[in-house]
Amino acid sequence: MAMSAPEPPYAQLTELAEYRVGLLQAFVDQEALMLYSRATSIRLLHAWRHERGLLAGARDAALASWPQTVEGLCGQGFSVLVRPFGGSAVPIDHGVLNVTLIMPEEPPLDAAFRELAEWLVAALVDYGRVDIGEVAAGYCPGRYDLALGGKKISGIAQRRLRGVVAVSAFVNLYPVEYSRTALVKSMYAAESAQTPAIDLSVVSDLVTLTNDERFYDPYYFLSRMTSVRHVTPTSFAVWQLIAQYRAEAQRRLTVQRRTREWLPHTRSR
């Protein structure tokens, strides 16, 4: 009897990328992975962390107090970036895992959101009910927020190019030395214009909510994701991406979209 062919992988997982200072490189890498995925028709799962940063939305950068916000954050050791897709301010740090599902196709908007949201829910099935839906008083509210026990633990956004889509989620794994929610709330406090109402009690993290200290290890969360879907490792590290993809990605973000970044104790570049 002929043996059946092995199941093709749902996606290929990149090596966990760690960024220490600038945020722009993380998004250049992601853009390059989108171009690679489109060229090769390979789905990718890209995972990364940053030491201490704030991803802002275009509306945040239009606020009157934005220059003071940037100055204050950079003075506290944060990198700041106005990201190339929707949403509002999100703090990221070593306790936040960023995962991006890159698909060389163009599914409908909601279908793409649900593809990643339902995967994340399935990865946490052992920890109780995870709801998909907007947590209105949390930072960066969206229709595909994930909440465990009523507390937001993740938010999802997406970026589209012709023939490829990247659906990105931040996942709060564990608490750090500052309050992420209080940081965003203070950012909007000086504004007289209408800004999001932030409730300090509605955003949390997996260690706090589950008492499972294994979530201190980002590889534990990734292992739960890869136990749900058939995922294989890529044959390359992110930094080994073919130069043509990275150069084009850099041009797209810095020239076409004019993506702006501020580094700790430095001026914008």
Catalytic residues: 140
Best CA proximity match to 166, nearest among 56, 33, 15, 259:
33
Q: Which phi and psi (to 5°) does residue 136 adopt?
A: -60, -35
Which residues, 6+ apart, have CB-to-CB distance to 218 below 8 Å?
16, 47, 49, 97, 173
Look-up: residue for tokens 């073919």? Answer: 242
| CA quadruple 12, 52, 73, 69: dihedral sign | positive
